[in-house]
A and B are shown apart, each in its own frame.
Chain A
């Protein structure tokens, strides 16, 4: 009986340990309450006599943005969040593939490819993303054949496509450097040893070098995907209605900037936390460090 209770206790503690991420929101809530009551209510209001002269009104989210179609600001935000997630995922996939190709170019023995990849990476990494977005959207127009651009203009959601192009090209430069660094961090003797064992170059890459390199590359790739999610807010400058644009519409229409930006911040925070949590789990369960 006693033993059983102890076993149960151990099992419970293992379970709690495994699913401890469920408590993360509670920690955030505790910190928020602490800041609100202790820092704001007691310190600022009571001790220093400072009070914010602004009445929050979150009910504004349920008013209609467009009366004609009865579209509320909540609908607008939902639309924005979906677009943000969509643009982030698509751009991330494209950027990963592009980045891997570029990293291989950087490491290849063909001098031309190396120089091409190097100049591409340095140019893209060292110019502001906003300028690149404007370049792809406004600047490529005169360079492309007229037949193509007229076809393009008739499509809907072109802005989204331009956003994906700009974001994935920008991020691919960073990802390429990280993957290259990961591959180069594996001592080249391992490659030589594998080749001496009779593996072909591709086999050695696939079975020996890459499995190790990926484990090293995953943490910086997580930060890149977080950056990408946050940078996606810049594509609103070419008219993509994503999360940041939704909040712009809210405070353009109602002048409620505090409400708009606080909700937007919380949504971005949860999105980023969800992404880093998911990728960390992936890292933990599929690419466990203990295996090598």
Chain B
């Protein structure tokens, strides 16, 4: 141990001397035209970085029908979120590259700078807003229950003492415990696992945002075997996740979303994925926030 301490002390001294020598002679401040992108990556606006790169890197879900999933015919990522990102990329006149994210890793991916924007069915929460920023609400949803067709469960009150499946890293498991503290929540890694547990009867109901439930039900072999019950017991305003403190990029995304609503592009995408002729029909009952 003595030896170790001596070595550590020696190291401290060497580094301290090194630091002292370096400190009095600060390097001259870079004057604009240098290639100083490595020194201060924070000050570079995301929008400039995207334009320079020529690619918008978007994080989307890869197994949430109909928001972000691998299409059977297309063999690539498709969905509502994917189309929103495509429009933003088109507006920027850049290409778009999709990265699959999960509920658990998406915020880390954004703060690490691996993606520029998150369109991953993410609820805008004040707690999350501490580390990243959000766009205006681009989709409004709430939480409901998915149960087998012949189930006696009609609302969240009937769940007391029973097992309900949910997904980790999302707000769903928290909301259901808030609404019904007496139920046992089993949290899985992804929606397919939770749905499989429901199919095997390991849980009596599964809960998450109703649009995801609609998607899961629609992608099943026999959608008529399932039903969605109860009232919304949480409100889930979806926001696009954006890097913290970059108001230029946030403004651009917000303005683009409003423009999409005004010129009907948003409704077109909505109808494509959740309209009346799709198997995931959900009546449109809210309006985007429009700034005059």
Contacts and interface: CB of A to CB of B under 8 A. Distances in A.
B184 interface: yes
A156 B184 contact: yes
Nearest to B8: A34
A27 B173 CA distance: 40
A137 B193 CA distance: 11
A138 B188 contact: no
A101 interface: no
Nearest to A155: B163
Q: Chain A at the B interface: mostly helix, strand, loop or mixed?
A: helix
A257 interface: yes
Contact of B127 (A30, A141, A153, A253): A253
Given A53-B42, A67-B178, A257-B107, A42 B16 contact: yes
A231 interface: no
A46 B22 contact: yes
Contacts, number: 99
B19 A66 contact: no
A65 B197 CA distance: 25
Interface string B207-251: 000000000000000000000000000000000000000000000
A251 interface: yes
Interface stretch (B88-96, B164-172, B254-262, B278-286): B164-172
A17 interface: no
Given A47-B18, A248-B169, A68 B181 contact: yes
B196 interface: yes
Chain A contact residues (Cβ within 8 angstroms of B): what range? 35 or more
Contacts of B186: 159, 238-239
B128 A255 contact: yes
A239 B188 contact: yes
B160 interface: no
B267 to A, nearest CB: 31
Contacts of A138: 193, 196-197, 200
A176 B1 CA distance: 38
B168 A252 contact: yes
Nearest to A152: B202
Contacts of B188: 237-239
Nearest to B26: A49
A237 B184 contact: no
Given A47-B22, A237-B189, A248 B104 contact: yes
Interface string A234-266: 001111010001001101111111000000000
A12 interface: no
B15 A38 contact: yes
Contacts of A47: 18-19, 22
A207 interface: no
Contact of A49 (B18, B39, B177, B202): B39
B178 A248 contact: no
A69 B168 contact: no
10 contacts: A43-B15, A53-B42, A68-B179, A138-B200, A156-B163, A237-B189, A245-B187, A251-B107, A252-B168, A255-B131
Pairs of residues from A and B, 7 with the lowest C-beta to C-beta distance, nearest first: A239-B186, A252-B169, A255-B128, A255-B107, A254-B127, A69-B181, A66-B177
